[in-house]
Chain A
Amino acid sequence: MTNPNAKPKIAFYWAASCGGCEITVAQLGMRLVTVGELVDIVFWPCVMDFKYQDVEALDDGEIDICFFNGGIRNSENEHIAKLLRKKSKLLVAFGSCACGGGIPSLANLFDAESVFERVYSTVPSLDDSRGTFPTPSSQVPEGEIQIPVFYQHLKTLAQTVEVDYYMPGCPPVVEQVWNVLQAILSGKLPAKGSVIGADAKTNCDVCPRRKMGPSERIKEFKRPHEVDLDPDVCFLAQGVICLGPVTRAGCGLPCIEANMPCRGCYGPPDGVVDQGAKLLSAIAALVDTDNPEELQQIMDSIADLVGTCYRFTLADSVLNELKYG
């Protein structure tokens, strides 16, 4: 029987992601000491020495909450996602990669072979003198080594196992991590399936910049480094694509305060099924031309359209679904 006074058991895991989500937890600083007193961390490979066997030895559902960051790019990611799902009462997709695929899912623009070709053969910074090319299994003097199988495309956590909560952000900002931990400890989590640690409205709701007027339309889109950006005016009004209109608020606008447009890491608000496609409506609203040729030129001025519109959500997009089924 479970001891009602036992501390909640918490797990953290890092799959296909950069590690920034782990750093945001570490940014809790001295508050981590409080967390450590209130919860029992049973698995956190980035910080403490645990082995997969330690997780396997747990009872099913023994972990109260698992924070899982990263997408599912290989067979190891999938194996651990399934294992942690089985062992956890609540599974949180933690960070943009687990929620929408994140930056690693931009590789879904290419097949796995092209990714390997680029990374291990043609990338300019490569020391190719060793001719290393990974294969799932290889012979070494000590025997056969097997490494995880690299999948054709990256999947989100929810495309692999059932997810209870989604906590977006690249990474989720530390104050939201703290808010969510407190909500967990006080038993105040919303209904399953909800987005936590973020707001319902979009970044424009809290952005202090002057919005575009009815006649402020544009003839060319520019990248942020190509414009001397006015820090008081909406980026879109300055011809710089900002994902603020299609991105949940909750981050506290660190990018916008640094005079850089929102790149969309907090994901789309409720009601938007495809963040990139929704953004097209905002872009088209601004375009000022009745000339088909000029329209082509304006559209050409957007560098890396998919990468811009789906920077953090490509794996979770309908576009991705049409490609990979």
Chain B
Amino acid sequence: MNHVDKTSETFADQVRAIPGGEHLEMCYSCGTCVSKCMIQQKVEPEYNPRRLLRRVMLGQREEAFEDPTTWLCSACDLCYPACPQEIHISGVIGAIKQLAVEAGYESPLETVTVDESLCSGCGICVAVCPYEAHSLIEKEIDGRMDRVSTVDPNKCMGCGTCVAACPLGAVARPGIGNAEVLAQIRISESGKVIPTLLVFVCDWCLRADADVSLLESYPKNVRIVHIPCSGRIDPQMALIALRSGIDGVLVCGCAPGECHYKRGTYVSACKIGLLGRMFDQMRVDDGRVRFVQIGTQDRGRIREEVDTMLASLAAWKEARS
């Protein structure tokens, strides 16, 4: 009897066999990818695509499956254009992750969940998710068949773009739920000083630590709200902020082509762009809600943007008085 001996297939062979994994051994371990990576810089010093690829070549299966690099890569592909070997590294990591999931490993990330009692099954989350983590399923709920969204926790990267998109507040993850973000906006209700400017800043668009700490240095008239991705912004949040007495809202996301969550910055550009068009059509004061896309090379840009916005809001206020 002729059968394939699976044990003779190496770990590297398995990775190579998955679409995306085929460029595995082109890596000569220069480490350029590590120097470009925002995760290594901001979240996990142990994050290292170069080392992960070596582990695969050395057949270190369990080590590779447990490596944070396997799970944290969001396929932003900042490393891709920098790789001298033109390896699509997120594709290789995706292949390793697929094998890890097949072997029973689970993502360590905090991912979104769906409250099925609220979900209408509209599928907006399916459409917006950059990772195809959402899908609609038919399921019996309270004695009747219903169509609801479900999340594959091994695909979800926790960006929250679906949380912003869900019309019924049925999708959430700890820290970025509607109530948690709104609590940071509805300042007038807590009796505190109402700031002039509210800045929603995505966790990834500011590469330089100096730019991140700069935000904390602004006086009390600027309030900073950190969000995982600009795609997490629901245009309602900007309106609620303005209604509560805040003069302006600045949303900062990644530059086109650099979005940490692939398409969050494009989704946000569309949302804030359409909101601006609504303001124009309604003839209400324009320029009070702005979206800026900050590139990884734009060191110091955040200061310019905040200062410019404060100046334009001051001019707007003066013109109104």
Give the contacting residue for A202; candidates B120, B128, B270; CB below 8 A: B120
Contact partners of B256 in chain A: CB under 8 A? 290-292
- Segment with Cβ contacts to A, from B47-55, B200-208, B233-241: B233-241
Chain B 157-196 interface 0/1 with A at a Cβ cutoff of 8 Å (1 = within): 0000000110111000000001000000000000000000
**Docked complex Cα distance between A272 and B136 (Å):** 22
Decide: A217 near B236, CB < 8 A? Known: A245-B167, A299-B274: no
A109 within 8 A of B: yes
Is A46 interfacial (CB-CB < 8 Å)?
A: no
Q: Are the C-beta atoms of B282 and A323 separated by less than 8 Å?
A: yes
A319 and B236 alpha carbons, distance in the complex (Å): 10
Give which listed residue, B121, B132, B267, B278, contacts A284 with CB less than 8 A: B267
A235 CB, min distance to chain B CBs, angstroms: 11
Tell me the residues in window 212-254 of chain B with beta carbons closer than 8 Å to chain A beta carbons: 234-236, 238-240, 242-243
Alpha-carbon distance A56/B273, docked complex (angstroms) = 51
Taking the closest CB of chain B, its distance from the CB of A307, in whole angstroms, is 8
In the bound complex, what is the Cα–Cα distance between A299 and B280 (angstroms)? 13
Closest beta carbon of chain B to A248's beta carbon, Å: 10
Contact with B along A245-288 (1 / 0, CB 8 A): 11001000000000000000000110111101110111111110
| Chain-B contact segment, one of A31-39, A175-183, A208-216 | A208-216
B25 to chain A, nearest CB (A): 31
Q: A202 to B243, alpha carbons, bound, how many Å?
A: 26
Chain A 187-217 interface 0/1 with B at a Cβ cutoff of 8 Å (1 = within): 0000000000000011111000001111011
Q: Which of A211, A281, A319 contacts B121 (CB 8 A)?
A: A211
- List chain B positions with a Cβ less than 8 A from chain A: 118, 120-129, 132, 134-136, 146-147, 164-165, 167-169, 178, 234-236, 238-240, 242-243, 256-257, 263, 266-271, 273-275, 277-279, 281-285
7 A-B contacts, Cβ less than 8 Å apart?
Answer: A272-B236, A280-B270, A280-B274, A283-B274, A284-B165, A284-B267, A295-B269
**A273-B236, A323-B284 known; 16 other A-B pairs, CB under 8 Å?**
A211-B126, A214-B129, A245-B122, A249-B120, A274-B235, A277-B239, A278-B167, A281-B164, A284-B274, A285-B124, A290-B257, A295-B266, A298-B270, A309-B278, A318-B242, A320-B282
